[in-house]
Amino acid sequence: MKRTPLTFKGLRYLVWLAPMLVIAGLTAGVVAGSWGPVPLVLILIGLAIAIGWLISESRGGFWRRRSTQANTNGLVATLAVVVILGLINLLGVRYSQSFDLTENQLYTLAPQSQQVVSSLDQPVKLLIFAPTPNPTEERLLNNYRRQSDRFSHEYIDPQANPVLAQQVGVSTMGEVYLEVGEGDAVTRRYVQTLTPQQPLSERLISNAIARLGSDRSAKIYITQGHGERILEAGQGGLSEAIARLQDENYVVEPLQLTEDGQIPADADVVIVPGPQQAFLETEVEALETFAQGANGLLLMLDPTTEPGLDSFLDNWGITLSTDALILDPEGQAVGLGPAVPLVTRYGPHPITEQLSGMSYYPVAQPIALTEVPGVEAVPLLLTGDQSQVQPIDDQGQVQLDPDAEEQGSLAVGVAMSRPVQGNGTLSEEPVDLLENGEDGESRLVIIGNSAFATDGLFGQVLNGDVFLNTVAWLSNQEGEVLAIRPKEPTSRRIVLTLGQQATLAIASLVVVPLLAFAIAIALWLKRR
Amino acid sequence: MGVLVSNIIAIYRKELQSYFASPFTYVITGVFWFISGLFFAAILLGPTGVIAQVAMQDQFGGGAPVDVPSQFLIVYLGVIGSLSLFILPMLSMGLYAEERKRGTLELLATSPITNWAVAVGKLLGVLTFFFTMTVPLLIYEAIAFLSADPPANPVLLLVAHGGLLLLAAAVLSLGMFVSSLTDSTILSAVLTFGLMLMLWVTDLIASGVQGPVGEAIAHLSLLTSYGNLIQGIVETSDLVLFASYIVLGIFLTAQSIELLRYQRS
């Protein structure tokens, strides 16, 4: 049967289905990640059409035409060039060199990080439980990967991979873990939680890697027996806080000072969470001895309680007025009530340098400082400018007296450190000190409230972060292994007077464009 | 070798003449200058501009330190990069399509000058013209850097601007190839624009694909490489990518003209 030219011509265009179908099949396969029947059938049909086209064309002496030869040569050459360029790019990526021309090397790892990563002796993997990477994070992670082949990272969408997320113990989006080892011996360490305020941090990652070697986890004792916050779950309990501490590799145990009489030698941090009754004299002595060594002590003291620690606190230059609390109109403004100081300002300190946002402390007392030689004190948590101190009478009623105290920003929490006194003889083994790798500092944080870390409030706003960062600093677990300053650009301003600005605006908006249009018109007129 | 260079220069001069003598290109230039001036005024000087924002931040105290000139440079060149996507296809659309329309393409294809020498000459010509178009922008950026206190490092500016030229060269090179395929300048511009848009958003596509394929697609993105350069990060892999696009464009153009000789009509 002789084909009419028209149908032949029409059929010829069907050949374009071939590449379309092949590409569709490849795309479907790549996107689905598996080569099921659908992609395979698409590719096969595409190939069949291409073969059919070649056969039908060859009947008309297709292969003998000069254009076919030229086309084939061209096709082969083009394919060759594309492949060569692809290979060059592959090598280019593999052996890429990066030059950071920014002034403060904003996009380069700190030398400490470079060292810790390049000296890795086992593969580590950073697991980031977030759906999509962002370019800044990718750049940081690539910088790590460039230092060592043993470092790798993976983004895991916890919703797409709930089993792994549960295995690791992910509770919120954006948690980052460092994974070491393989198979059954795999261990994971919590690094940080990504928030808009706290992006992926080189400091935290490098410190997590650096700490891999030392597996000794810091031990925390929480005093009990003076009406303190209980460790169990429930209203006013500390169970959430303790769970998070355990997640972060701390060992947490209760401490019955009355029974034991002294603080165990392996304690790194002692927390005193809101005692209602006074400590005995021997207990205060035990605390004092503890606080002279290279240890951390966290005091959370509520107003109207008398823990009997005055003499101890005097040594650090702290005065508490136990019969006063802070009234903060800002707390009222956000619906928390006037007796809830709202803290949005944080002092310049390792505990709070990464924090931005609010935290609140229901019923807190102000902490007044006097300078003591040798003690370095930094107010951590500062209330708004309109907060006041109001006295409380015997019945526990606030005596409102607007003129009584002046308004101003008050400290709810203070962090202090001083050199180890004496030989820090808390423990008989001096090895312990060395093992901690500490720089010989006694650390104390005092917060005029204990409710902020209790169940229900711990997870609110930044309360939990304040608590965890504090414990981390006290236990010397954070920032001290590697002190990496966050990279910051040089502060720089453009100085232009208003007149200069106006001139610039006119020049860029009117003069320069008009110049081009004027030339266009002149040329056009000349041509005519 | 000397002949080759003089051939390229001859083509280059002819191209430059055609650009600088055409009222049409000046209209494009005028529009480009107006829009880039608009962005300059808005980003640097306007009420929501960088200067005003930082001044406000300084007034209320606190906040991270800001390097205003480099901040401005990153934002401004980011916008200019996108703007160039619209402008560059208009510059490249006539490169070969015009020759084809006038019937001079056969002369070029059969002339003793090799096809790729013609392509290189044409590309250099149009790139030079684009560079002239960006000179006022360079002056704006230089003003921002010169009036900085403390003084800013001009290397950053030059690298960022070099990035813009590399981006332009890559786009123009591919645009030149598209232009050699058709005799309609409009079609050539639209196709180039579509192609650029594809390359521009590849990182979006790549984020949907896992594994090495996704990484490979992500590497093709012009946006990421350009973004690195304007921030002051010179990665050799980015430079290789730009060079690959430029070489690919020139090669494909030469191939498509080569095929013209034997085309069945």
pLDDT in tens, B52-107: 888 887 777 655 677 888 888 989 999 999 899 889 999 998 888 888 888 888 88
User: In this predicted structure, what is the pLDDT of residue A523?
Assistant: 92
The answer to whether the beta carbons of residues A424 and A293 sit under 8 Å apart is yes
CB contact under 8 A, A520 and B232: no
pLDDT confidence band for A215 (50 / 70 / 90):
low
**Nearest one of A35, A179, A155, A152 to B214, comparing CA atoms:** A155
Q: How far is CA A116 from CA A123, A178, A482, in A?
A: 13, 14, 9
Rounded (10°) angle between helices B23-40 and B68-92: 160
Q: Is the pLDDT of residue A229 over 70?
A: yes
Q: What is the DSSP string of B60-104?
A: H--S---BHHHHHHHHHHHHHHHHHHHHHHHHHTHHHHHHHHHT-
- Per DSSP, what are the bridge partners of residue B148? A494
SS3 A193: strand
A13 has a chain B CB within 8 A of its CB: no
Higher pLDDT, B128 or A309: B128
Please give the average per-residue pLDDT across A92-98, as a whole number: 83
Q: How confident is the model at residue A479 (pLDDT cuts 50, 70, 90)?
A: very low
Q: Within an 8 Å CB–CB cutoff, is residue A494 touching chain B?
A: yes
Coil, strand, or helix at residue A351? Answer: coil
Distance from CA of B108 to the nearest CA of A (A): 18
CB within 8 A of A502, min separation 6: which ones?
A: none
Q: Which residues pair with A127 in a beta bridge?
A: A154, A177
Residue type, A239: S
Q: Are A128 and A153 in contact (CB under 8 A)?
A: yes
- Measured between alpha carbons, how far is B238 from B242 in angstroms, rounded to an integer? 6
Residues A247-282 pLDDT 10s:
777 888 888 877 777 788 888 888 888 888 888 888
Rg (CA), chain B: 21
Cβ-in-10-Å burial (0-12, 13-18, 19+) of A221 comes to buried
pLDDT for A396: 61
pLDDT-derived band at A61 (thresholds 50, 70, 90) equals low
Listing from the earlier edge strand, what are the strands of the sheet with A411-419?
A: A251-256, A219-224, A269-273, A296-300, A441-447, A411-419, A376-383, A342-346, A359-360
Confidence of residue A65 (pLDDT cuts 50, 70, 90): low
Q: Using an 8 Å Cβ cutoff, are B33 and A512 in contact?
A: yes
- Once rounded to an integer, what is the mean pLDDT over residues A292-299? 85
Q: For residue A417, what are the β-bridge partners? A: A376, A443
Q: What would the DSSP string read from start to end of A211-229?
A: TTS--PPPEEEEEESSSPP
Confidence tier at B245 by pLDDT (50, 70, 90)? very high
Bridge partners, A367 (sequence order): A320
Residues of B in contact with A507 (CB under 8 A): 37
Residues 6+ apart with CB under 8 A from A435: A214, A216
Mean pLDDT across the stretch A357-376?
83
Rounded CA separation A269/A291 (Å): 10
- What's the pLDDT at A405? 58
What is the mean predicted confidence (pLDDT) over B221-240? 88
Which residues of A are less than 8 Å from B143 in CB distance? Answer: 504
pLDDT in the model for residue B151: 82
Query: Inter-chain contact B27–A501, Cβ cutoff 8 Å?
Result: no
Contacts of A520 in chain B (CB under 8 A): 23-24, 26-27, 29-30
Calculate how close chain B gets to A480, using CA atoms only, in Å. Answer: 23
Question: Which candidate from A99, A514, A523 shows the least CB-CB separation from B21?
Answer: A523
Residues of B in contact with A103 (CB under 8 A): 67, 153, 156
Residue reference for tokens 């101003």: A408
Q: Outline where DSSP puts E strands in A328-431.
A: 342-346, 359-360, 367-369, 376-383, 388-391, 411-419
Task: Select, from the ranges A240-254, A337-351, B48-62, B153-167, the one with the highest average predicted confidence (pLDDT).
Answer: B153-167
Higher per-residue pLDDT: B8 or B258: B8
Cβ within 8 Å, pair A492-B244:
no
A74 CB within 8 Å of a chain B CB: yes
| Region B45-51 average pLDDT | 83
- The residues, any chain, with a CB within 8 Å of residue B123's CB and separated by 6 or more, are B169, B172, B173, B176, B246, B249, B250
Of A77, A493, A521, the CB nearest to B54: A493
Query: What does DSSP assign to residue A452?
Result: G
CB A93 within 8 A of CB A182: no
Average pLDDT over residues A335-357: 79
Q: Pick the residue of B259, B260, B261 with the most A CBs within 10 A to test the interface with A by mutation.
A: B259
